Amino acid sequence: MTSIYSMRQALATNLATISGLRASAEIPDNPSPPIGIINLDTIDYNLAMNQGLTQYNFVVTVIVGRAAERTMQRKLDAYSEISGPQSVKVAIESDRTLGGVAYDLRVERSNVVGSITINDQIYLAAEFTVTVYA
């Protein structure tokens, strides 16, 4: 049986293939941008007979840095691209079985959140919705 923890770890491993981007399978107390954080959003059980398929919906939040800097906006743009070396979609989908713990996955969408506040600091961030079938 696949564990949620192993999926989180494998997603973080895929995300960490982006040069200069840290990846965390767990929510850090004090994130240090640029960082991608893997969060479990929802689970859809019993999609096939005998618990043969479960859909796990993750949200990957990528935090880049201070909201006032244009450089950070460009960095967020690069992470949101459909292709290229900085693409979160390409990195996460680089191993669609997550090292054998899933049947398949796909990055469904990117939602540029804009400014977020963490520990009284304002950062730019985007969320990526990832569906994993296991």
CATH number of the domain that 45 lies in?
Answer: 3.30.2000
Q: How many CB atoms lie within 10 A of CB 119?
A: 8
Domain that holds residue 23: 4-133
pLDDT at 115: 85
Chunked mean pLDDT (size 10), the chain, 134 residues: 89 97 92 94 81 90 81 89 96 96 95 82 92 95
Edge-to-edge strand ranges of the sheet holding 22-24 = 22-24, 35-44, 55-66, 121-133, 104-118
pTM of the model: 0.89
pLDDT at 65: 82
pLDDT at 121: 83
Q: What letter would DSSP give residue 58? A: E
